[in-house]
Structure 1
Amino acid sequence: MGNSNTLTAAQIRQAILDNPKKRARDLADSLNIGEAALVAAQVTVGGATKITADPNALIPRLKELGPVMALTRTASVVHEKDGIYDNYHAGDHASMVLNGAIDLRMFPSHWVHAFAVRVEGDESVRHSIQIFDAAGDAVHKIHARQGTDIAALEKLTVDLATDDQPDTLTLATRQPAEAPKSNTAKLDILRSEWDRMTDTHQFLRLTSKLGMNRLGAYRIVGDPYVQRLHPDAVNTALEQLVATELPSMIFVGNRGCIQIHSGPIHNLRKMGPWQNVMDPEFNLHLRLDHIAEVYAVHKPTRRGMAHSIEAFDKDGAIILQIFGMRSDAGDFTEKFAALCAALPTLEKEAV
């Protein structure tokens, strides 16, 4: 991807007018610009205001808005949760919002551009806050809902507006996904250190130390740590989670933000290549045709085994993770492990 200097703000605004029904990310890709450039072009005409992208300044203010919708996405999946931005924890490397509805892990170094956006429709005005990385890809968005305090949103916009209000942005080149990295010479160390894990967060430090990454380690570690599943297994798992009402945790993330849903899912609706969870306060939109590799993964922790289903695209980028859920309401991990064991593998495909 190039940067937005290839088009003027006026040309970008005209492209938006010419493609009123095209999704922002798709339009940006077709123009070879970052999505943030589409938003910046609206600054001149009053549809957007550039605000600080610093999570420590922005996120604590979001509680004032009341109920909103949090959205985190990649090219393959969109994760939407309704709730209130309460219980913020700042951090230099990672920040968190952690409550019953909104559950986020944010990585401030990738929060580079942010805008408060106002779009006038035929019958209503849509308000949002949109945050982008250095390449102009969206890392997180906050959309107003019916109960959102719009006056508080407008005050936030004024308070956090930057001194400069450019209608064009110079954007970095989008960085490709890291290719899978394995190291078969250290396979025995990988397995022995895996056995000694007490927290799932230790896994990435372990693989980095051994010159591997997540997908590279999964490809070589073998049973009983990992089983490779058929790409259809993700859809089968979603169907089983609905049928059994089994609570789980569904993680979707990009470089700048990870968003988590915890609980059961109830309503699936398949449309073309998209499988969609359409629940009142949680929506998931997943491109099934983007799934290239799927693994059932089992990691030891102090509280017992953590079981997950993890899907990757053709470039090795992780699309989503589904974990067995353990909470004050109950421990559902063993039932989730049984669900994983019944999923189709590459050697035992569903008939």
Structure 2
Amino acid sequence: MTETSTVSKELSAAEIRAARADNPKMRDRDFADKMGISEAQLVAAYVGVKATRIAGDMDSIMPELEKLGEVMALTRNESCVIEKVGEYGNFTPGKHAGLVVNEEIDLRMFPSRWVHGFAIEEETEGGMRRTIQVFDAAGDAVHKVFLRDGSNAEAWPGVVAALKIEDQSDTLAVEPREPVEPAKGDPAKADTLRAEWDKLTDTHQFLMLTRKMKMNRLGAYRMAGAPYARRLHNETVEKLLHRAAERAVPIMVFVGNQGCIEIHTGPINKVAEMGPWINVLDPGFNLHLRRDHVAEVYAVTKSTKRGDAISIEAFDARGYLIAQFFGVLREEGAAEKWNALVAEFDTLEEAATA
């Protein structure tokens, strides 16, 4: 399904289930794309079979998730998936953004995008699988929660009952997807952008700056140039992960969509390439990133009160932010190791002319 798709096919729940039975091995997202429907519509087709419609709002869901104990939290976009194992503790609600911040699970959530919710219970080859899944208005996944062997499965029926809504229909109306905004900048404002960039004292001020100047993140990176934003080879992301693992350099990884950003902070160990994917396969943390989707990579420096925050950021061909990688500032010596690692990567222009 394309990013600008506006209408899903008119298929009955029975037709969707029958087609799914003929394609049991495909991932839900891939199957939904093949059928011309959203992933949420695929899940809705199983309401009354293995799925229950539940409240989709963040404030209702988060307190219930705490009752499930250790679970796996998953957030994804088209090109990257992040999975963290932990408990949903320390939830802070907010009108525009909510937080879950603890040692294992670290989320930034945007409640306006939390629209459709489902609780799913199904038998698989690996045993019973129980998940909570949330989707946006277009039917795209925002966040998913998977119970594990160590989860409090006894709490599951009560959680589902508490979140269950009256509407248990097996069809779902979705809205058109919002197209990805391409890089947006104004060359006439380049000097002003750099001057304002020099005044940053916190990384969160950057997006406010771009909005004020009627730009976006990628447009600003393209315009500012070094030393603010250096364009790197597309292969930088996989090299970065391998070197961070080999040298025990702790990192922060940010992966998200319009409704949720999930963060890993700490070391990485096992990095493996499988087909087009580069993967981190560690206990408690998995990352899966499509290398062939990476179209632009930048090393970005933003000043803060604690020193420069240096990131490596990957975008797809549409200009969508796939993932961001930062150093861990709070661990002694870690920031210096990270900064030295990033400095090893030549700019694309330097590498091309060397």
2: CA distance, partners of 1:268 / 1:14: 38
How far the C-alpha of 1:345 sits from its partner, in A, is: 2.9
1:302-341 aligned within 5 A: 302-327=305-330, 329-341=331-343
Worse overlay, 121-130 or 133-142? 121-130
1:29 aligns with 2:27: no
Aligned mates of 1:74, 1:116 — CA distance in 2: 21
Q: 1:147, 1:192 → 2: CA distance?
A: 52
- Which of 332, 340, 347 is 2:349 aligned to? 347
**5+ residue gaps, structure 2:** none
- What TM-score, normalized by structure 1, do the two folds share? 0.97
Indicate the residue corresponding to 2:271 in structure 1. Answer: 268
Aligned to 2:127: 124
CA distance in 2, matches of 1:240, 1:79: 19
The 8 Å contact of residues 9 and 36 in structure 2, kept in 1 or not, is answered as no
One-letter code aligned to 1:41: A
Letter in 1 for 2:140: D
Establish whether residue 16 from structure 1 lines up as the match of residue 40 from structure 2: no
Please name the residue that 1:259 is paired with. 262
Q: Deviations over 1:25-84 (max 9, x none)?
A: 000111111100111000032x00011011111112111100000000011010000000
Distance (Å, rounded) in 1 between the aligned partners of 2:327 and 2:337:
8
Alignment of 1:37-186 (within 5 A): 37-45=41-49, 47-122=50-125, 124-186=127-189
Equivalent residue letter for 1:129: I
One-letter amino acid of the structure 2 residue matched with residue 222 of structure 1: G
- Partner-residue secondary structure (3-state), 1:147: strand
| Paired amino acid for 2:26 | K
The partner residue of 1:239 within 229, 239, 242 is 242
Task: Please tell me whether the aligned partners of residues 54 and 111 of structure 1 are also in contact (alpha carbons under 8 angstroms).
Answer: yes
Give, as a single letter, the amino acid of the residue that structure 2 aligns with 1:133.
D
Q: Does 1:217 align with 2:224?
A: no
Task: Report the residue type matching 1:347 in the other structure.
Answer: E
CA distance in 2, matches of 1:331, 1:133: 40
Q: Distance in 1 between matches of 2:211 and 2:288?
A: 31
Unaligned runs of 5+ in 1: none
Residue 123 of structure 1: how far off its partner (Å): 5.4
Residues in 2 aligned to 1:191 and 1:2: alpha-carbon distance in whole angstroms: 38
CA distance in 2, matches of 1:150, 1:166: 26
**CA distance in 1: counterparts of 2:155 and 2:7, whole angstroms:** 33
Contact 1:233 1:344 in 2 (8 A): no
Q: Would the aligned equivalents of 2:279 and 2:286 in 1 still touch at CA under 8 Å? A: yes
- Which residue identity lines up with residue 286 of structure 1 in the other structure? L
Distance 1:254 1:235 in 2: 21
Q: Helix, strand or coil for the counterpart of 2:279?
A: strand
AA in 1 matched with 2:77: T
Give the letter aligned to residue 260 of structure 2. Answer: C
Shift of 1:338: 1.2
Matches within 5 A, 1:294-309: 294-309=297-312
Q: TM-score, normalised by structure 2?
A: 0.96
Q: CA RMSD in A?
A: 1.3
Deviations 1:275-308 (Å, cap 9, x if unpaired)?
Answer: 1100010000010000000000000011110000
Shift of 1:331: 4.7
* Paired position in structure 1 for 2:197: 194
SS in 2 for 1:144: strand
2:349 aligned counterpart, secondary structure: coil
2:142 aligned counterpart, secondary structure: strand
Does the 8 A contact of 1:5 with 1:169 survive in 2? no
Aligned letter for 2:220? A
> What residue is the counterpart of 1:204 in the other structure?
207
Distance 1:65 1:4 in 2: 34
**Distance in 2 between residues matched to 1:169 and 1:190, nearest whole Å:** 44
Q: Distance in 1 between matches of 2:181 and 2:26?
A: 29
Give the distance between the partners of 2:18 and 2:57, measured in 1 at CA.
31
TM-superposed deviation, 1:211: 1.1
SS of 1:304's equivalent in the other structure is: coil
